[in-house]
Structure formats: C-alpha cells, structure tokens
Structure 1
Amino acid sequence: MSSILVTGGSGFIGAALVKALVRDGHSIRVLDDNSRGAMRRLQDVADHIEFIAGDIRDPAAVTRAVHGVDEVHHLAFVNGTEFFYSAPELVLDVGVKGMINVIDACRSEGVRSLILASSSEVYQTPPHIPTDESAPLVVPDPGNPRYSYGGGKIISELMAINYGRKYFDRVLIFRPHNVYGPDMGWEHVIPQFSLRLKQSAAEHRSGKIPFKLQSDGSQTRSFCHVDDLVRGVMAMRAKGEHLNIYHVGTTEEITIADLARRIAAHRGREIELVAGPAPEGATDRRCPDIAKLKKLGYSPQVPLANGLPSTVDWYWAHEELQAKI
C-alpha cells in the first residue's frame, strides 16, 4: 500500500478519489485550502486521512504536504465555467503556480510518481467526435477569458510530461469529461438548471415553466457520473503507462435542451425552453472516445438516467449550502 497526497482533496472529484484510495487501504494525505472544497465531502473518511490546510500556490505548504509520500495526485485547480469568465487571473494563478510547486516539491522530496487531473477543456472545439486523446490542444483566442482554464490545463500537461521524462518514474494524466454527481459544486450546468427549476417552479405553480438557455440548447455533452470517474482513474492508476493520457467519461451524448427537460421531468414539471445568446467560446459538441481506457478494464456503469435524479434531488435539498454573494 502507498502513501499518497491528493491536492484539492476536499473538492468534488478529489474527495471521491480520496475515499476510493482509502477503501483500497492506502495512507492518504489531503492538501486543500477549502476555498472551493468542503470538509463535509470527507466526513466519511475523516478518521482515516491526514488533512493539511494550505494553498497550492504556497511552495512551502506544498513541500510540507509532499514530504514523506510515495505518490502525488494533483487535482487542485479552480473549476467552474462561471469562474473562467469572472476570475481568469485566479484560474491561471492557481493552475500554473500550483503545477510548478507540485513538480518542484516532488523533485526536492524524491517523489517519482505523479497523477495529474486535466480536462476536456484542453480541446475547446474538438476536431472530431468522439474525440480521442490525440486531438490537438488549442487556445483559439488568448483574449477570451474562458480559455484561462483550458490554457492552464495545457500548461500543466506540458510540464508533467516534459519533467516526467527526466524526473519521474511514472506520470499519468486523465482528462475528465463533464463529471457530475451530488455536491459537485454550484457553477456547473446540472446544479444551475436544478436550482433554477426549483425557483421557477415556486413562481409557476402550474402549467409549463419558462426556462431560459444559453443559445438554443442544441449543444451536446456526455456526462460522466463521479463513481465512473473514480473507476476510470483507479483503472488508469493500476495499469496505465508512463507519460500517457487517458480520457475518463462516457459516450452517452445528450443535448443541453434534453438535459433541461429530463431535470424538469424528474421533478414532475414541463418546461418551455427560451433560447438566449451563447457565451463566447462555448463548444457545440463534446463526447470522448474512451477506447484507450477501456483497454485497461474501464467500463462506465452509471447511465445518466440513473445518476441524474439523485443529483437533482441533492441540490433541491441543499440549496442553503450555496454561497451567497
């Protein structure tokens, strides 16, 4: 069994991964400042982990966290489309400084195994669907703040791979594709649709509910339940090859309009979609080719029809946890 540091371990994906690693018997340390994470996500394993409160941008804090571990899983980053537009400088600050600090700490502390969380956002507009790992990574417009996130992930991948050749025995990168589940945060489409539906349903007690969309809702995504994400990362960790990149996701594709209808139907309501302007730089279609990870034994187990209801219900029941700005 290994001693593993998970940066960003109180985040949505990080906490799910921490719990899986604990179940497998590993000794787990978490580094997070809880600016985006929450300790409630780790309450089930709180007695089985070491938690270090610290900022990934602080070199000393990262070095302390890395000291004595065998492996680092680097997930600390600022996620959420809302922040890509509102705080691009923060997204890049956390992303780039964090990656530099993790690599420097691994080198100084003799840690030679690194797993990096990247993102499907590195493709922006994929050249083909389904998209495999060989598709080119693109920042089409550096003036668009949205690309702060994808750009930061591209930088992180480049650093992990190129430092990995010389200073690491094993570097693995996974690119999650639209991971969802209860308590996934608030700046994503499923939570936002869920809460907007709840508020609108209270205002419109009967009949169809008018429901505004960005664009016309024809854009597609392939949503991956967090339990499947964990299965994929664990399969990659067990059998993945050094300096390789793996998609984690599902090939089940759905339009945003149909997603909204499913959320409404689950809560027993009908909606009338109202088209609006699309955010600049948004991608029309995204669906991963997961053949590479399937060769390692990965197979998604949670279709959207099974995972969406509990996610919507969680947000209807926990609206009070959303930060009020």
Structure 2
Amino acid sequence: MSSILVTGGSGFIGAGLVKALVKDGHKVRVLDDNSRGAPRRLNEVADDIEFIPGDIRDLAAVTRAVRGMDEVHHLAFVNGTEFFYSAPELVLDVGVKGMINVIDACRSEGVRSLILASSSEVYQTPPRIPTDEAVPLIVPDPCNPRYSYGGGKIISELMAINYGRKFFDRVLIFRPHNVYGPDMGWEHVIPQFALRLKASAAEHPSGALPFRLQSDGSQTRSFCHVDDLVQGVMVVRAKGEHLGIYHVGTSEEITIADLARRIGALAGRDIELIAGPAPEGGTERRCPDIAKLGKLGYAPQISLEIGLPATVDWYWANEQLRPRG
C-alpha cells in the first residue's frame, strides 16, 4: 500500500483515478480547490480519503499536501476548450505555476515518484493517424489563445522529464485522448451536444431538429470512456518505464457529424446538420496509437456505442447542476 496524493482529484479524470487507487488499497489524499472539480464525484469514497482544499498555485498548500506521501499524481489543470479561448492566462497560470510547485514540493519533501497527466493537445495537429508518442510537440501559433492549454502541457512534460532525470526515481506521463463519461464537465462536445439537442427538441416537437456545427462536422475524434482511461493509467503506474510517455485512449474514430447524429438518435429524433465557421486552431483528425500501452496490457473495453447513452442520459437528467453565468 502506498500513500498517494492526487492533485485535481475532484475533477472528472482525477475522481475516477482516486476511486481506482482506493479500490487497490492505497491511502489517498486529494488536493483541489473545487473551482473546476465537484465534491460529489468523490462521495462514494469520501470516508476513505483525505481531502485538502487548496489552490495548486499556492506553494505552501501544495507542500502540505505532498508531505508524507510516497507518490504524486498531478492532474490539476484548467481543461475545457471554452476556457482555452476565454481565459488563456488562467490556463497558463494554473498549468505552469502548478507544475513548478509540484516539483518543488516533491523535492523538498523527498517524494521521488511522479505521474503527470498531459494531453493530446501537446502535438495539436498530428502529422500521422493513428498518432504515436514520438510525434513532435508544437505550438503552431503563440498568438492563438487555444494553445495556452497545449503549451502549458508541453512545459509540464519538459519539466517532468528534465527534473525527473536528476531528482526522481520514477516519472511517468500519460496523455488522455478525448475522455468522456457521466459528469465529465460542461465545456466539452458531448455534454454541449446533448443539452443543445434537448433544447432544440423542446423548441421543435416534430420534424428534423436543426443543429449547427462548428465547421462541417467532418472532423474526427476517438472518444475514450473514463473507465478505460483509468484502467490505462493504472497500467501505466504498474508497468510504465521511468520517463515513459504513454497515450491512453481508443482507436475507435468517429466524425463530429456522426456523433451529433448518434445523440439525436438517442433522443429519437432526426437532425438537420448546419455547417458553421470553424474555430481557428482546431484539429481535423485525432486518433491515438495505443500500441505502446497495449504491449503492457491495456485494452479499452467500452465502445462509444456502449458508453454514450449513459453519458447523454446523465446530462439530460442533471441539467440543473450546470453552472450559471
């Protein structure tokens, strides 16, 4: 049994990881300010964990949380495409200061095992599909606020690897790819589509539902259910090599237009797709090569066909939880 700190542990992925670590018998501590996380996600393990409220940008808080731990899983970051465009300075502030604080706290408290959550955004527009871990990391345009997120993750990877060589016994990096599931947050394509379709159905009780897209919907993504993602992280933790980078996701690729149609079908409605302007800096295709982690035993189990209905149902049933303003 290890003592493990999970930063961002009340976030969507963080909470799933916390529950898996508790199930494995570890002593788990969570550091989160709940600005993006939700305590309800940890309800089923609330009596089994230690929760420390705190901002990842506060070195004193991070140091207190790291103290006495054997291992740190660093997930605290500002996710959600909406925030990349609307608050890029916040994304970078949390991302870069947070990473510096985690490394400094680990060094001062003698913690020599670090697992970092990165992102597929570090390579932005992939040069090949499926995309392996060796592709170049790029920021195509520093003036585009979208790249605040990918840029912050690149900095985090560089710091983890280069400090890891000297000050850590084990550093592992995993890159999640389009993770979804119930209660995943509100600034992502699946919940946004689900709630927009629900509103459109209320306005149009019969006939095809008009549904506007960014661009023409031909962009593709490979959606990974959170349970598969957590399983992948546990494989990385158990079998990953020091300074190793691992893609975690699924090879099931779908167009955004087909995703909208599937959600429409769950509502029992046909939809009329309306093309709109594409956001600057978007990626046309994204599908990870998961062979590297597959060799260690990772195998996603939950197809989009299985995972999507429960996710959409959760958002239709819990719209009242959506933040206002």
The 5-angstrom pairing of residues 204-283 of structure 1 reads 204-283=204-283
Which residue pairs with 2:308 in the alignment? Answer: 308
Q: Which residue of 1 aligns with 2:78?
A: 78
Displacement of 1:80? 0.0
Per-residue Cα deviation, 1:206-262 (whole angstroms, up to 9, x for no partner): 110000000000000000000000010000100000000000000000000000000
Q: Which residue of 2 aligns with 1:193?
A: 193
Matched residue SS, 2:78: coil
Give the drift of 1:179: 0.1
Per-residue Cα deviation, 1:143-180 (whole angstroms, up to 9, x for no partner): 00000000000000000000000000000000000000
Give the gaps of 5 or more residues in structure 2.
none
SS at match of 1:30: strand
Residue-by-residue CA offset, 1:178-220 (whole Å, 9 max, x unaligned): 0000000000000000000000000000110000000000000
Is residue 2:104 matched to residue 1:104? yes
The 1-side partners of 2:268 and 2:172 are apart by 43
Q: Which residue in the other structure is 2:113 paired with?
A: 113
Which segments of 5 or more consecutive residues in structure 1 lack a partner in the other structure? none
2-structure distance, mates of 1:69, 1:124:
34
State the alpha-carbon separation in 1 of the partners of residues 124 and 18 from structure 2.
29
Residue of structure 2 in register with 1:67 after alignment: 67
SS in 2 for 1:21: helix
| Structure 1 residue 267 displacement after superposition | 1.3
State, as a whole percentage, how many aligned pairs show the same letter.
85
Runs of 4+ in 1 over 4 A off after TM superposition: none
The corresponding residue for 2:139 is 139
**C-alpha distance in 2, partners of 1:6/1:263?**
33
Determine if the alignment matches structure 1 residue 162 to structure 2 residue 162.
yes
In structure 2, C-alpha distance between the alignment counterparts of 1:168 and 1:267, rounded to whole Å: 50
Q: Does 1:288 align with 2:295?
A: no
Using structure 2 for the length normalisation, give the TM-score.
1.00
In the alignment, the residues of structure 1 paired with residue 42 and residue 106 of structure 2 have an alpha-carbon distance, to the nearest angstrom, of 25
Q: TM-score, normalised by structure 1?
A: 1.00
Kindly report the root-mean-square deviation, in angstroms, between the aligned alpha carbons of the 2 structures: 0.3
Partner of 1:39: 39
SS in 2 for 1:282: coil
Amino acid in the other structure paired with 1:119: S
Cα distance in 1 between the residues matched to 2:226 and 2:151:
24
SS of equivalent residue, structure 2 residue 309: helix
Displacement of 1:65 in angstroms is 0.1
Letter in 2 for 1:250: T
Q: Structure 2: how far apart are the matches of 1:164 and 1:122?
A: 19
Corresponding letter in the other structure for 2:77: F
Number of matched residues? 325
Question: 2:231 aligns to what SS in structure 1?
Answer: helix
AA of the residue aligned to 1:129: I
Secondary structure of the corresponding residue to residue 10 of structure 1: coil
Q: Secondary structure at the match of 1:307?
A: helix
State the AA in 2 paired with 1:114.
L
Whole-Å Cα distance in 2 between the matches of residues 266 and 53 of structure 1? 38
What's 1:95 paired with?
95
Task: Describe the SS at the equivalent of 1:246.
Answer: strand
* Structure 1: distance between partners of 2:275 and 2:320: 29
